[in-house]
Amino acid sequence: MALNRRAFLAAASATALTPLPAAALKQSGGNQDWTWAAGGGGNIPPAGALPDTRWLMPVPARRSFQDRRFPLTEQFTVAVTGYSDGRLERAISRVLAQMNDRTGFGWDIYGRTQSNEATLVVKCGGKGNEIPAMDDDESYTLEVIKTGVQLTANQVVGVIRGLETLSQLIEADSEGPYLPWCSIQDQPRFRWRGLLLDVSRHWEPVDVVKRTLDGMAMVKLNVLHWHLSDDQGFRVECKTYPKLAGMGSDGNFYTHEQVRDVIAYAADRGIRVLPEFDMPGHCTSWLVGYPELGSAPGPFHIARVFGILPNAFNPANQELYPWLDKFFAEMTALFPDKYFHIGGDENRGPQWNVNPEIQRFMREHHLANNAALQTYFNRRIAPLVAKHGKHMVGWEEILNPELPDDVAVEAWLGIPAVNEIARQGHKALLSAGYYLDLMWSAERHYLVDPIPADTPLTPEQQQRVLGGEAAMWGERVNPEEVDSRIWPRLAPIAERFWSPRDVRDINDMYRRMGRISVELEDAGLHHRSNPQRLMSWLSNGADTQPLAVLMAALEPRQGYGWSHSKTVFSPLVYVTYALPPESPLRRELPAMVEQYLADSPRFAARRDDLEDLFASWQEALPGVEALAAQQPMLQEMAPLAADLAECGRIGAQCLDYLAVGQRAPAQWKTQTLAKLTTMAPVQADVRLIVLDPLKGLVIAAAG
């Protein structure tokens, strides 16, 4: 039977079987037969060759596979025994719909049978928490044997997690789709596995939030940290203080009904929604409508630029605290989660330093500096949050010896901060190392661990480390770009939070990420399609192939300091926004060069591959120059296309020297390496990623 093109076969074939050099093979465990790398096309190995991670992401805690198959056919039935409710039924229907797409079958996603001979038998012990909570039991067992599939969990949320694993187990060969026989016992390593989504710097509509939740559920994340206020916007309707959203949002905010809809949507997927309202800094949007809360006289305007602004609440104003009490009363009732984030970061207090009232208050209360004043503020608001039944959460700047023990603290500066938070007796979260807006590689994020193997924490202190959160800050994303900045790199981070610490094979991670990326797009994310649309727009309907060749050799600038997106009105329509954060060529080109230089019969085709690649770089230059002449936003690409064409010429020269066994002159080597070095600086918020492998090829050509 022909499979649906959107099925997992498309995902599998998008991940290439690429033999890697000895160093990479050593890292992957010494498998000399094959190792996977993301990108390109290639052959799919037989099922027996797959490692026990299969195509699963995150990898289950314990799993075993047999080299036997359970065929999937048109006849697929589901029985539910034990507890069942609407959330469980909807989860089954969602995942069956995904499996339909991946197999091409037309299963009845709503039909259920009472027969224990059903294809899939779901056994659920009980409902669990009415609202997703940190003590949810997410464990499950999954068995695939000759007679069918059995999924067992203590609570509905465990069924939800197990169903996602079942969906990822689908494989196929010439005989059709099937499930491998397996036994899986799974539970998360960390209880708190989140994504911060900043909707304040750039507004993200409800449909963006929902599709993000869909992706989070697929990789078993369980907390949406919704960053709802900042200098650039206050994004939630507040009936107690209507000018918050009325004057501080440019009309872009969520109504109470929309918030409840998102919370219910998340709950259906076993995801908590943690609201963040930043204070006492990052509060310009609050002060637009309520300037009397500020430390400066105002008037205030919604911030249109990014960075750390001076505006802050006035902690000496005793009317601030009953005002916030009423605000907390409304927002804690709207958001049911037991945790409530108050921000607290990056408040440097310049307005406090020049406000006579605040300085007098600090002297009267023996507050030595601005940090002490913020501690006073935190001590005043923590009981207010607790009064409304919530545990306060804040960034690490709120940490001090006077902080109540039940306050959780999130570290954005590193593992040492997590350790100190736990030592001081607080629940700790790690976001450092998981900032998606920094455009780091998936590998770099993947190797950051909230509790690394060499942790100095005692077992008791380790229990206070709840987990971590990736952070998608919103300065450089809008509804068109946000998916490509989150996915698929969030999937390996989710694995770090869920899977055992020793699951950290980089090559295997990229192999599996290649498939989950396609599955995420198939489920409604736009991280692959939206960049293609932007590239077509930049090309003005002309042939995009020359631009695609250039873009494959580029990655966005890492870190901050971008020349584009300086204000909320900056158009995010330059090439850097159409680039994925990580190009497959970053990993593929070094492997191709090393394999070619290994001079092994296994890699005989690598010369042809490199020759074709270098030729394509040179051939792309006229096309990019022609596009740049017609499209102003592509003009900055012309110099980069010229650099890439020169790289292609240099690469071809290297191949010529190596082909005839003639050592390149020393002067050529020196001049060529110097030329490549001059290309290294970042240009137009992008960087060429082919320079280092080419330098290695130049050195090899010179003997």
Taking the C-alpha atoms of residue 241 and residue 572, their distance in angstroms, rounded to an integer, is: 33
Domain locations in the chain as residue ranges? 53-186, 192-522, 529-701
For the record, the structure tokens of 367 come out as 């507050």
- Closest by Cα among 183, 182, 175, 168 to 73: 175
Beta bridge partners of 194: 223, 469
Q: Provide the CATH number for the domain formed by 192-522 in this structure.
A: 3.20.20.80
Angle between helices 691-701 and 638-660 (to 10 degrees): 30
Rounded CA separation 338/291 (Å)? 30
Alpha helices in 292-319 (DSSP H): none
pLDDT, one tens digit per residue, over 575-605 is: 999 999 999 999 999 999 999 999 888 888 9
Catalytic residue (one of 89, 346, 611, 625)? 346
**333 contacts 263 by C-beta, under 8 angstroms:** no
| pLDDT for the residue numbered 50 | 86
Helix axes 156-168, 506-522, angle to 10 degrees: 100
Cα separation, 194 vs 170, in Å, equals: 26
What is the structure's pLDDT at 608? 95
CATH code for the part of the protein at 53-186: 3.30.379.10
- Output the six-digit token pair for 641: 């296309």
pLDDT of residue 564: 80
pLDDT less than 70: residues of the chain: 1-48
- The confidence score (pLDDT) of residue 15 equals 33
8 Å CB contact between 253 and 232: no
pTM for the full predicted model: 0.93
Active site residue 480: no
